[in-house]
Structure 1
Amino acid sequence: MTTQSSQNKKTPSRLKVFFGGYSNKGIKDENQDAFAALVPDANELQAKGAIATLADGVSSASKAAEAAQLAVTQFINEYYATPETWSTQKSAAKVLTSLNQWLFSQGGMFDEQHQQWLTTFSSLILKSTTGYVFHVGDSRICKYREQHLEQITRDHNRKSAGNHAVLTRALGADNRLKVDVHQVDLQVGDIFVLTCDGVHDFIPNKVLTRFLDELPAQPSNADLERISEKIVERAIQEGSDDNVSCLLVHVNTIPQRKLDEIERDLLDKTIPPALDVGMKLDGYVVRKVIHASIRSHLYLVEHEQNKLTYVLKAPSANFADDSIYLQGFMREAWVGERINHANVMRISQGEANSKFLYHLCEFVQGQTLSEWMHDNPKPSIAQVRDIVRQIIAALRAFQRLELVHRDLKPDNVMIDAFGQIKLIDYGTVFVASLDENQENIQETVPQGSLNYIAPETLLEMKADYRSDLFSLGVICYEMLTGELPYKPMKRAEVTFSDYGEWQYRSSKQFRSELPLWLDLALEKSTAADPRSRFQAFSELQAELSKPNSSAIEEYQRQPLIQRNPVKFWQGVSALLAIALIASLLN
């Protein structure tokens, strides 16, 4: 396998946008409008997107100008400070909630005495092939495509006596923020128009369209700024009695890569050949071959200069043509550099200029949980509780970053001599921010390991933190019983069509001394339907810590057919057999 020369590689299309805006105080003494826009570097552009935002301070508020300026600058700064793994909507929602609470705390209510920090807010985040709109108030975002201007946002105002518009929603007006959220598909050539009411209340769409028609097919930032200024000046000429601001956003290119282009990028580096003790790779000396399989190779290595020890992980050459696997392998290192938790194995990418595909993992001395279970066939509840507690701590770290492990199983959990747990091997991890992009190869098969994979992933190709909770429930069950909560499946048997086809097997079948409250907790954590499971890791942890008397009472009130359908039908069969024998004797 060889790398392609840079001369022969066609540069893949990426999102490329241009901005241009203009603002004027108009006939007023102070300009209480503000706008801002930013295109970050390539890495942040892929994970977080580009932003354009406009705010119009509420003129009756004593700090209108400050509120508008704070809203646009803080939103952009804080949005890019959120984890790169978060989805666009989660990142924006967190920032807007925090921003609104601060503004509201400064005064905020809609009354004569406390209108201090109030502003409208309209923002467009462009990421991959999608535009994400977040809107509060009566500033406006429109889309201009193929000479047609379409309003995307809804004005939050009402007409009062004298036909004056009264604002009904603004940042800082209420501690319970209600934001309009929309998604729009992006096309090359789209122009998004962000305006305050001082512009769009005085310029009809047909006039605005004529200005936009003056733009060249591929406008520069200067072109967009020039047209924005002309729009603002026209609003003033038309008698605008407010501040006047316009921000234009042009979509120059969007990701349109074909599958072979994406695969070519993935194959840009060479998979290392199988290594042996004493061999070197980028200055790392192999001290031990830890594991070799058809999927990957693990080596204990030592850096020849700093003498630090790592585990070097490289994909197997068997997967050289498997783009989904290679994408997951690269994603694992990307996530590993962004998650920092005592119960998660640290991972970093290999040497930056290396031609080889591999990454470096924290060396964890210990055994897999599978091996531990073999050595401890009937562990105490306390032992299992401690292990589950640590796994939950790790999974919470994933959840906070909007990550889903998706391949939680005993072989992917390490336990050292002191009982500390480390989650390893998260090459199938789901990343919310990357899932929004078109630059990734879409998965066509469920990700995970049979008998640990959540039913919703098999049925619907969906996974969230509850899917990891299901897998953890299966592991907990297996540690206690040595069995699985459902009849073990072979891949050829995965033909279930609904959740009702998964039939839970009581843990007391395999260890009769286990308490009922524990079995009920295991049953709920491994419920096939995610809606019937615990809805938080903390619920599972609490249920394993002390008996839930209400759950036991509810269970005991159920008819036998619900509590133990197998026992119920065995009893029915026995009664039928007795009745049959009696009829024959008569």
Structure 2
Amino acid sequence: MLQDLNRQKLAVTIGQHSAAGRKTLNQDFHGALVPVGAALALKGVALALADGISSSPVAHVAAETAVKSFLDDYYCTSDTWTVKIAASRVIEAVNSWLNAQNGGTSDRNRGYLTTFSALVLKGRQAHVFHIGDSRVWRFGGGGLEQITNDHRVEISAEESYLARALGAAASVEIDYSRFDIEAGDVFVLTTDGVHDHVPPRAIAARIAEASDLDEAARDLVALALSHGSADNLTIQIVRIDALPPADAATALGESETLPPAALPQPPCDFEGYRIVRALHASSRSHIFLATDLRNGDRVALKVPSIDLRDDPDYLRRFAMEEWIARRISSPHVVSPAPAPHERKSLYIVTEFIEGQTLRQWMADNPSPGLEAVRGVVEQIARGLRAFHRKEMLHQDLRPENVMIDGEGTVKIIDLGSVRVAGVLEAMPDLDDGEMLGTVQYSAPEYFLGQGGSERSDLFSLGVIAYEMLTGRLPYGARVARARTARAQAKLSYVPAASFDPRVPDWVDGALRKAVHPSPLRRHEALSEFLADLRTPNPAFRTRSVPLAERDPVAFWKGVSALLTLVILLLAYLLLEPR
């Protein structure tokens, strides 16, 4: 399905020009890349320019390295990442390399130092990354608006120095901004050889009348030279000619999606597979054990639900499952099977996991030891980390979506509810606000209509750990009924030790924190939760827990009763004859 993302696509016109000017060596460097196929929708169009420090004999190498590395490496990052994460990591890597070439020298006149500015156009937004005193502008209303700040320190009218540059230090601070865009918008990138000598109104006037942006770029460089510019000169102009539609269905090429697979009747042959038997059926999908006729491998073949195959949102999520699986590499997440035969219909093929669900394991082990629980929880957490590293949230973690194979390896399955930040950035309509998780395990913030976070997956993991130890849920069914912040504040955690005295107080404290109704009160990271399950945290040792924290409902009932007694006492004293 994603191969058709570019059918209604982002379209741009780019004009650019660079010249050494009155210098013998051009230490500026620039470039642009307009990809094709799915990369255009999932990564966007990128432009970048860099201005090497003029006093350094190797600054031109720094500028060229920065631009080429950015344009090459940005498109090699995971397409599940947002632009901000992907571009920032690439820029940070370039900075580290340049700084290493400097060998720790503090002499800026000899180092691999350069300014750097980049513009990424993805979906219906522009993303700007900036270091130094090159500039990015937005053209509109007949004028130019500078949307970056110069990182330059002015000592006097004659003396200044660059406050921030790539390669200057082991780490770099990157200015980042994001803007909504429309067809017809124009962005301009310039080095100081241009913008120090051509006023913004003159740049805007030339762009407004331009029919050829390359010619306009050459004219503006010539104008800067005629105004006395003695520096290298570079300008890039990009006009947005068309944008992908806001409608996610169209952006995903839904009209070109394969028809949902017919429900197989095993045993039977199906598009190069031998369907052996049914494994699982629900209102959302049907899963079968199948054999790949090419190599004899056993696989799990999943077809869309009969009841939901007319629901376009469901079909889009279904088709995304295998795409997501191919971007996750973890022994604790279900793996996709090798690329299937040429498809005639929509279905998913993954590895076949011979084992049992965590739900069945819990039924077979109603009183597991703490170490067994830790082993399962730690493996689930490793699988969740694989999602989080790719800026994905699972959003439907529950015992039915966890498998344990015959060797004890735990794997997260069912990727139909996964949230992919990079895809939603390009196609925000994919997120229609529907809560996709199972209510007993979903974090409270979902019930408030808030977006999830890594701490939301942590909440679900904490609920699973609690249930494995106690056979119950920490709040019963009350979370699903608490649809306001006020109602959630009244949720009362039931200590695990009240159901199983074997649960240490410090383990109970770790569980209490992991499933706190407020995401800000939970552990900051999965590793922190796992550490608290392994090592006693002094903060969770038995202590006198205030009633307000232990049982807020009882606390406020007590306060109300006390206030009633005080009022009655005061009334008696006032009415008593003197």
The TM-score with structure 1 as length reference comes to 0.90
* Deviations, residues 383-439 of structure 1 (Å, cap 9, x unaligned): 101001111111111111111100000000001122110100011101110111236
Residues 573 and 458 of structure 1: is their aligned pair in 2 closer, same or farther, counting only changes over 3 Å?
Answer: closer
* Deviations, residues 154-213 of structure 1 (Å, cap 9, x unaligned): 122233334454322211123341211111111111221111000011111222122212
Give the Cα–Cα distance (whole angstroms) in 2 for the partners of residues 62 and 111 of structure 1: 15
What letter is aligned with 1:497?
Answer: A
Q: What does 1:245-394 align with in structure 2 at a 5 Å threshold?
A: 245-258=234-247, 261=250, 265=254, 268-347=257-336, 351=340, 353-394=342-383
Structure 1 partner of 2:34: 39
Structure 1 partner of 2:398: 409
| Cα RMSD after superposing both structures | 2.7
Match of 2:307, SS state, is helix
Give the Cα–Cα distance (whole angstroms) in 1 for the partners of residues 190 and 6 of structure 2: 35
1:129 partnered with 2:124: yes
1:353 shift after superposition: 4.1
Give the Cα–Cα distance (whole angstroms) in 1 for the partners of residues 248 and 356 of structure 2: 39
1:441 shift after superposition: 2.8
Give the Cα–Cα distance (whole angstroms) in 2 for the partners of residues 567 and 513 of structure 1: 26
What letter is aligned with 2:382?
Answer: A
Give the Cα–Cα distance (whole angstroms) in 2 for the partners of residues 251 and 541 of structure 1: 48
1:352 shift after superposition: 6.6
**Structure 2 contact 444–479 (Cα < 8 Å) conserved:** no
**Structure 1 contact 399–465 (Cα < 8 Å) conserved:** yes
Match of 2:426, SS state, is coil
What letter is aligned with 1:28?
Answer: K
**Structure 2 contact 41–123 (Cα < 8 Å) conserved:** yes
Give the Cα–Cα distance (whole angstroms) in 2 for the partners of residues 200 and 278 of structure 1: 72
What letter is aligned with 1:325?
Answer: Y
Structure 2 partner of 1:475: 464
**Structure 1 contact 312–360 (Cα < 8 Å) conserved:** yes
1:559 partnered with 2:554: no
> What 5-or-longer segments of structure 1 have no aligned partner?
4-8, 217-222, 577-586
> What 5-or-longer segments of structure 2 have no aligned partner?
564-578
Structure 1 partner of 2:179: 184
Matched pairs, number: 560
Residues 37 and 399 of structure 1: is their aligned pair in 2 closer, same or farther, counting only changes over 3 Å?
Answer: same
1:137 shift after superposition: 0.9
1:120 partnered with 2:108: no
Structure 1 partner of 2:143: 148
Give the Cα–Cα distance (whole angstroms) in 1 for the partners of residues 5 and 192 of structure 2: 45
**Structure 2 contact 490–552 (Cα < 8 Å) conserved:** no
Residues 156 and 369 of structure 1: is their aligned pair in 2 closer, same or farther, counting only changes over 3 Å?
Answer: same
Residues 461 and 573 of structure 1: is their aligned pair in 2 closer, same or farther, counting only changes over 3 Å?
Answer: closer
Structure 2 partner of 1:212: 207
Q: Percent identity?
A: 39
Give the Cα–Cα distance (whole angstroms) in 2 for the partners of residues 494 and 326 of structure 1: 30
Match of 1:527, SS state, is coil
Give the Cα–Cα distance (whole angstroms) in 1 for the partners of residues 354 and 289 of structure 2: 11
Match of 1:81, SS state, is coil
Structure 2 partner of 1:545: 534
User: 2:410 is matched with which residue: 408, 415, 421?
Assistant: 421
Structure 2 partner of 1:237: 226
**Structure 1 contact 262–441 (Cα < 8 Å) conserved:** no
1:160 partnered with 2:155: yes
User: 1:200 is matched with which residue: 169, 186, 195?
Assistant: 195
Name the stretch that deviates more: 93-102 or 560-569.
Answer: 560-569
1:446 shift after superposition: 1.7
Match of 2:279, SS state, is strand
1:534 partnered with 2:523: yes
* Deviations, residues 451-500 of structure 1 (Å, cap 9, x unaligned): 10011122143111111111000000001110000021496x35333431
Q: What does 1:408-487 align with in structure 2 at a 5 Å threshold?
A: 408-438=397-427, 440-487=429-476
**Structure 1 contact 108–118 (Cα < 8 Å) conserved:** no
What letter is aligned with 2:80?
Answer: T
1:55 shift after superposition: 0.4
What letter is aligned with 1:22?
Answer: H
Give the Cα–Cα distance (whole angstroms) in 1 for the partners of residues 157 and 484 of structure 2: 65
* Deviations, residues 91-111 of structure 1 (Å, cap 9, x unaligned): 111111221122223338895
Structure 2 partner of 1:102: 97
The TM-score with structure 2 as length reference comes to 0.91
What letter is aligned with 1:562?
Answer: E
**Structure 1 contact 34–55 (Cα < 8 Å) conserved:** yes
Give the Cα–Cα distance (whole angstroms) in 2 for the partners of residues 417 and 260 of structure 1: 41
What letter is aligned with 2:378?
Answer: R
Give the Cα–Cα distance (whole angstroms) in 2 for the partners of residues 551 and 428 of structure 1: 34
